[in-house]
Amino acid sequence: MESRDAKRVELVLPIRTVLIVVAAIGLMAAFTAIGATFLIIFVGIFLALVFVAVTLFGALLGVLGALTAVPLAATIQIFIQELTKARREQVDAARAALGPPASAA
């Protein structure tokens, strides 16, 4: 009778494992579908940059780097945008001073 109980336990454990794996895959699919929109709209960084940042910071700093990759990538992106902001303003002012392009008649 003990062998029958042991077989039952062996059958229940793989079913739980399969359910956990299926749930994890479903969550990953949902986060992938929603995550790109969330990152672009609310955080302002693209999904490709997130993958590169997580891979790079994870390789350099391990788990701590992977956890802090998205905030660090967003900070670096904002820093670069602020560095180039003055140059973009100068180019826009120069274009405005030239006026509209003359039409070729």
Number of neighbouring beta carbons within 10 Å of residue 50: 19
Is the full-model pTM beyond 0.75? no
User: Cβ distance 55 to 26 under 8 Å?
Assistant: no
pLDDT at 11: 55
Q: Which token pair is 97?
A: 């001073």
pLDDT value at position 9? 53
User: Per-domain residue ranges for the chain?
Assistant: 1-34, 44-97
Taking the CB of residue 71, how many other CB atoms lie within 10 A of it? 12
Give the chain's count of helices (H) and strands (E). Answer: 4, 0
Structure token digits, residue 59: 């390789």
**What pLDDT score does 49 carry?**
80
> How does pLDDT run across 2-54, given as a tens digit for each residue?
555 555 555 555 777 888 888 888 777 777 777 666 666 666 777 778 788 88
